[in-house]
């Protein structure tokens, strides 16, 4: 397997933006989903997604099909936010200053899935993103 130090740097940059309440408006974050075995089980990949008024950081993710992923929703805003992917049955909600998480299995079929904040008016204000399943 080839090491990709630039990928690690991109992940740290995305996490730093999320931690600082940044409002990333585009770029894809590709997540290296190399499985780690812990006590005989495959550990989930953890992705921190920051939520502010009215954006997610990062807004776009590339996930490996069939992998297990934990999304940690860090609410850096002043109001309640959530992360919803109805196509996958994924939902997590967080109050200001709190991080909540949800774990799910990425579908095996390649494609795209949308996620958004379903608080009234937030999606319309730009709080949505895309997961590309590869």
Share of the chain above pLDDT 70, in %: 68
Q: What is the pLDDT of residues 45-104, one digit of tens each?
A: 999 999 999 999 999 999 999 999 999 999 999 999 999 999 999 999 999 999 999 999
Mean per-residue pLDDT of the chain: 79
What is the rounded distance in angstroms from the CA atom of residue 96 to the CA atom of residue 74? 8
Report domain extents, the chain: 5-133
Give the pLDDT band (50/70/90) at residue 21. very low
Are 78 and 53 within 8 A, CB to CB?
yes
| Token pair belonging to 33 | 């989903």
Predicted TM-score (pTM) of this structure: 0.70
Per-residue pLDDT at 44: 78
Kindly write down the DSSP assignment for every residue of 50-91, as one continuous string.
EEETTEEES-EEEE-TT-EEEEEEEE-SSS-EEEEEGGGTEE
Q: Which residues lie across from 101 on neighbouring strands?
A: 72
Helix (H, G, I), strand (E, B) or coil at 100: strand
Fold classification of 5-133 (topology level): Immunoglobulin-like (2.60.40)
Per-residue pLDDT at 43: 66
Spell out the residues 6+ positions from residue 12 whose beta carbon is closer than 8 angstroms to its own.
none
């Amino acid at each position: 397997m080839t090491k990709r130090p630039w990928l690690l740097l991109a992940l740290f940059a995305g996490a730093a933006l999320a931690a600082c309440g940044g409002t990333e408006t585009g770029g894809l974050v590709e997540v290296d989903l190399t499985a780690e075995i812990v006590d005989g089980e495959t550990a989930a990949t953890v992705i921190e997604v920051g939520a502010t008024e009215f954006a997610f950081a990062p807004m776009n993710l590339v996930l490996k099909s069939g992998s297990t992923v934990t999304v940690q929703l860090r609410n850096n805003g002043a109001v309640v936010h959530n992360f919803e992917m109805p196509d996958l049955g994924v939902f997590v909600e967080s109050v200001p200053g709190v991080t909540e998480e949800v774990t799910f299995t990425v579908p095996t079929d390649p494609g795209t899935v949308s996620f958004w904040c379903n608080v009234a008016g937030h999606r319309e204000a730009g709080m949505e993103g895309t997961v590309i399943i590869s």
